[in-house]
A and B are shown apart, each in its own frame.
Chain A
Amino acid sequence: MTDKNLNELSDEDLILEFQRNNTERAFEILVQRFKNPLTNFVFRYLGDYESCVDVVQETMIKVYRYKDTYQSIAKFSTWIYTIAGNLAKTELQRRKRRTILSINAYGKEEDETYEIPDENYRPDDMTDSGIKDEIIQKAFLKVSDAYRQAVVLRDIQELSYEEIADIMGITVGTVKSRINRGRAQLQKLLKSIHNE
Chain B
Amino acid sequence: MNIIEDDHQHDDVIQTLKGLKKVSAPANFETDLKRRINSEKYGEKKSFWAKFLLPSRLIPSAALVLSAVAVLFVVNTNSGGAEENPLLIPPKVREDVVASSNVGKDLEMNMRPKVKKEEAVKPRTEKKITPKINNEVPALANNDVMPEDTGISNLGITITGNNPGTNYGNPSIVSFGNRPINKRGLNYMQRNLTPQEKAQLKLLKKRWLEMIKELNK
Contacts and interface: CB of A to CB of B under 8 A. Distances in A.
B29 interface: yes
Interface residues of A, number: 34
B10 A28 contact: no
Contact of B37 (A39, A61, A133, A156): A61
B43 to A, nearest CB: 12
A155 interface: yes
B21 A28 contact: no
Interface stretch (A12-20, A112-120, A186-194): A186-194
A74 interface: no
A180 B22 contact: no
Contacts of A40: 22-24
A51 B111 CA distance: 97
A187 B12 contact: yes
Contact of A151 (B17, B25, B26, B29): B17
Contacts of A183: 6, 10, 13-14
Given A40-B23, A133-B20, A156-B18, A60 B33 contact: yes
Interface in A117-149: 133, 136-137
B18 A53 contact: no
Interface in B12-45: 12-14, 16-18, 20-26, 29-30, 32-33, 36-37, 40
Interface of A: 28, 31-32, 35-36, 38-40, 43-44, 49, 52-53, 56-57, 60-61, 64-65, 133, 136-137, 151, 155-156, 176, 180, 183-184, 186-187, 190, 193-194
A125 to B, nearest CB: 18
B3 interface: yes
Report whether over half of chain B's contact residues are helix, strand or loop; otherwise say mixed: helix
A61 B45 CA distance: 14
Nearest to B40: A61
A36 B25 contact: yes
27 contacts: A31-B30, A32-B30, A35-B25, A35-B29, A36-B25, A39-B23, A40-B23, A40-B24, A56-B29, A57-B29, A57-B36, A60-B33, A61-B37, A133-B20, A136-B16, A136-B17, A137-B20, A156-B17, A156-B18, A156-B20, A180-B3, A180-B6, A183-B6, A183-B14, A186-B13, A186-B17, A190-B13
B26 A53 contact: yes
A184 B55 CA distance: 61
A53 B32 CA distance: 10
A151 B6 CA distance: 13
A95 to B, nearest CB: 18
Contacts of B40: 61, 65
Given A39-B24, A180-B3, 6 more contacts: A38-B25, A43-B23, A133-B21, A155-B18, A186-B13, A186-B17
A53 B13 contact: no
